[in-house]
Chains A and B, each alone.
Chain A
Amino acid sequence: MSAVTAAKPLLRLFRVVKSFGAVVALRSGSLDLHRGSIHALIGENGAGKSTLVKIIAGLYRRDAGDIRLDGREVDFGSTAESKASGIAVIYQEPTLFPDLSVTENIFMGRHPRGRLGRIDRRAMREEASEIFARLGVTINLDRPTQGLSIADQQLIEIAKAISLDAQVLIMDEPTAALSGVEVERLFAVARSLRDEGRALLFISHRFDEVFALCDTVTVMRDGSYIATTLISETTVDELVRQMVGRDVAELYPKLEAEIGEELLTVEGLNRAGAFHDISFSVRAGEIVGLAGLVGAGRSEVARAVFGVDGYDSGTVRIDGRPLPSGNPRVAMQRGLALVPEDRRKQGLVLDSSVARNMTLAIRSKLARRGWLTTAAENGAASIWASRLEVKTAYLDVETGTLSGGNQQKVVLGKWLATEPRVLIVDEPTRGIDVGTKAEVHRLLSELAQQGMGILMISSELPEVLGMADRVLVMREGRIAAVFDRADATPESIMHAATHDAEAVR
């Protein structure tokens, strides 16, 4: 690590490793947190930031490496242990008990007690109102947390950390769902906590926030530590270079495809609370990337287009003909396919065989007078299993036993078997190894070359940049920007995904 500060760090992680089966989530995570400092941790999705946080929080146990708190070696086996050592984690999605009051949420498990172990509600209330007064926030202490805005819920998480007297405070993308005013309020709180001598870790995708709030920044990439620099000594360009820095061409074998007529047209799609004024089209032979932060509403749009969920207004057309809302069966007949984000829950029947899964979407075609034979299933499945090189000994093994990459191939095979004209893929390479990733990319590229229209949702910038002919960027339920392949850069996409619409033209 570079000699950013000479003082002894409060929390030090050194070459921490964590893998899940064959997938290495964290190759070598290193991080130094100092008292009185706000430290930024940045990196693409999948760079290993969340894994690192979960190890500090005691949710995961590291496989190797060194963690020291105040110079002492620690190994947290549970969240309770990490909490007891003075570490508080605020997750992107606050984890509160929706039915319990604000006050109880702060003190759950640690209520102040009086005689007979009776909870001292008065002391509890007084401490809570004291904390909120210190934070300069007014919240009704007696209302249940259900229905509070994410911003208010995060303040409750912070209040929890303060009441714990946590010395290390980790905030995992706390601003993702906040408005400008709320971000300012959060920052003011964070600065005052820093001035009290606590160590803060701030994870964010928004560079302007990193530069406004933090004093030091650590970059991670592909599960590894890249660099730690003082904010005053770096620039956005430099950080982006560190984040992306790899050979894009090799992982993303983009083939030339002839772009034809419009296949899928979406106009003015709206659903309250999810997305607004969504208009775009996908043409034959084209791969359209849909980028944006997690929670920007991308998956919701995909599900609405395919008909899994409904929408309030707008139209979806295939070949110029309107598609009825909320009817996936018709969407499939008309040549639309959706490979969902969560393959284990939404894409596969894990207890069922590979062959069953691959023929799930074409059962009625395979059936003869209503009878479905294993021979017919295996025949149809083997075509796609071999084309996609699904690595399994037999087609009748349980799908749940396959690796993530092979499971994803099964889901792809299931939908390709329906011979779709437009394929929507939601995070097609999440959680799969690099080799299989490249295979999936090659496959998508070949499909486009054969004239299929592809809408690819991805949180991985290099994937979007490497594969897409056109990039749509969503931010907070709206399409914030559209880039052609030539104009799309990591900076421009990140900028559009994180800034107010006016700033992006």
Chain B
Amino acid sequence: MTSTRTTGDLRAPRPESTGRRIRRAAGYVFSARETGIAVALVLIVIVATARNPTFLFSSDGYRDLLLTPSILVLVAVGQAIVIITRNVDLSVGSVLGLTAYLTGRLFVDVPGIPIIAVFLAGIVFGGFLGLINGALVAFAKVPALVITLGTLYIYRGINVGWTGSDRINASDLPLDFRDLGTGQIASIPILTIIAVVVLVAAAWYMRNLRSGRELYAIGSDPAAANLYGLPVTHRVITAFMVCGALSGLAGVLFAARYGTVSSQAGTGWELQAIGAAVIGGVAISGGVGTLWGAAIGAVLLLTINRALPILGIQDFWQRAVVGALIIGAIVLDRVLALRQIQRLAEAKDETR
């Protein structure tokens, strides 16, 4: 799965120049897979813009391009962290829905509540829901797929029970808060700035801190992680908590962006987030991929959705195209892995 990732030469290591180090670092961050989908993204934007220049060159087009994927980027980053540990979190959409409704309720029930407090509440609540997921996965030793499928329904059920036929309307939310969802700083949407800041911080963590690298190790081979004496349980719970907290943040931003929150907010987002991560090169079997990839995957996914109608492709086909992308990404990984195994088997015979 990683054969595309082998960089550098086979010679003995030697002290390297700063230039080489930067090149190597750049090669790591944007190795083949991330570059590939980034190129695909740029191509789609170019083609769509050539067909219809307003896709990029109108104030709305440019803003939508940045704004639309921002919330999904947050969820996809959280999802990628969990997938890297060889788990999966299906409940992110439900967590997003629940925190989005919580956000609205806080503004309605606590008049004059500071916006920052609402953000904190959303993040902490999301983190708590993630903690439940993580604890169940780590201690019950049941696959995350099953556990989080259960919490997907439970969290959604709580949401439906709490909301009933009620909904949060834009008029319930303070103007300052709604401005966050649509406002810009230096012509960059605020949501995009938040998403990028979170992405940079999370990617830095995954790459540069011990605990971040241990998440990769755990996903790469859980049995070996145990032999190494890595704190596997602790790390897996943390990964789920971070994922929940990011979904919680996304829920707050969802309320700010759309203004209307019903009990069905965020339905189906879990699959979009997984899709974004997989398209972005995060291996579903763990241990491989970057948060950058997942984020670009999220942007690609939503940009395609907007570009296809411009290219004259029917609504029906849009989903099929997304599906083809996901399957294509996985098949590509599998083919590369199989080729690697075959090569190894032959090499083993030759050395005998």
**Chain A residues within 8 Å of B, Cβ to Cβ:** 57-59, 78-83, 91, 95-100, 104, 108-111, 113, 117-119, 122, 125-126, 128-129, 132-133, 138, 140-144, 146-147, 149, 179, 272-274, 276, 476-477
Q: Are A109 and B220 in contact (CB under 8 A)?
A: no
Residues on the B chain within 8 Å of A274, using CB: 345
CB of B169 closer than 8 Å to a CB of A = no
Told that A111-B213, A272-B349, A276-B349 touch, could you supply 8 new A-B pairs with CB distance under 8 A?
A: A79-B229, A97-B217, A98-B221, A117-B209, A132-B13, A138-B12, A140-B11, A179-B352
Chain A interface SS verdict (over half): loop
Instruction: Number of B interface residues at 8 Å Cβ cutoff, please give it.
Output: 47
Stretch at the interface among B1-9, B150-158, B241-249, B270-278: B1-9
A108 and B228 in contact (CB under 8 A), knowing A132-B13, A144-B2, A144-B5? yes
| Nearest-CB residue, chain A, relative to B209 | A117
Minimum CB–CB distance from B297 to chain A (whole Å) comes to: 18
- Cα–Cα, bound, A140→B349 (Å): 23
CB<8 Å pairs between A and B, sample of 17: A78-B229, A79-B228, A91-B227, A95-B224, A98-B220, A98-B221, A99-B2, A99-B216, A99-B287, A99-B288, A108-B213, A125-B13, A140-B11, A142-B7, A143-B7, A146-B1, A477-B349
CB of B340 closer than 8 Å to a CB of A = yes
- Cα–Cα, bound, A112→B213 (Å): 12
**Which 9 pairs show the lowest CB-CB distances between chains A and B?**
A80-B229, A273-B345, A97-B220, A129-B13, A99-B287, A138-B12, A95-B224, A79-B229, A99-B220
- Cα–Cα, bound, A299→B331 (Å): 30
Q: Are B214 and A142 in contact (CB under 8 A)?
A: no
A109 and B352 in contact (CB under 8 A), knowing A97-B221, A98-B287, A100-B217? no
CB of B43 closer than 8 Å to a CB of A = no
Q: Are A119 and B210 in contact (CB under 8 A)?
A: yes
| Nearest-CB residue, chain A, relative to B347 | A149
CB of B14 closer than 8 Å to a CB of A = yes
Residues on the A chain within 8 Å of B6, using CB: 142-144
CB of B54 closer than 8 Å to a CB of A = no
Residues on the A chain within 8 Å of B230, using CB: 80, 108-109
Residues on the B chain within 8 Å of A141, using CB: 13
Q: Are A97 and B287 in contact (CB under 8 A)?
A: yes
- Cα–Cα, bound, A100→B5 (Å): 10
- Cα–Cα, bound, A238→B340 (Å): 46
Q: Which of B13, B208, B220, B346 contacts A272 (CB 8 A)?
A: B346
Q: Are B344 and A147 in contact (CB under 8 A)?
A: yes
Q: Which of B221, B229, B344 contacts A273 (CB 8 A)?
A: B344
Interface centre among A58, A111, A140 (most CB of B within 10 A): A140
CB of B182 closer than 8 Å to a CB of A = no
Q: Are A79 and B226 in contact (CB under 8 A)?
A: yes
Q: Which of B11, B13, B283, B351 contacts A179 (CB 8 A)?
A: B351
Q: Are A109 and B228 in contact (CB under 8 A)?
A: yes
A140 and B229 in contact (CB under 8 A), knowing A95-B224, A99-B220, A111-B210? no
Minimum CB–CB distance from A196 to chain B (whole Å) comes to: 22
Interface string of B153-191 (1 = CB under 8 A from A): 000000000000000000000000000000000000000
CB of B140 closer than 8 Å to a CB of A = no
User: Which residues of chain B (1-45) have a CB below 8 Å from chain A?
Assistant: 1-3, 5-15, 21, 24
- Cα–Cα, bound, A276→B209 (Å): 47
CB of B324 closer than 8 Å to a CB of A = no
CB of B141 closer than 8 Å to a CB of A = no
CB of B47 closer than 8 Å to a CB of A = no
Q: Which of A110, A273, A276 contacts B346 (CB 8 A)?
A: A273
Q: Are B208 and A118 in contact (CB under 8 A)?
A: yes
- Cα–Cα, bound, A118→B210 (Å): 8
Q: Which of B10, B225, B347, B352 contacts A140 (CB 8 A)?
A: B10
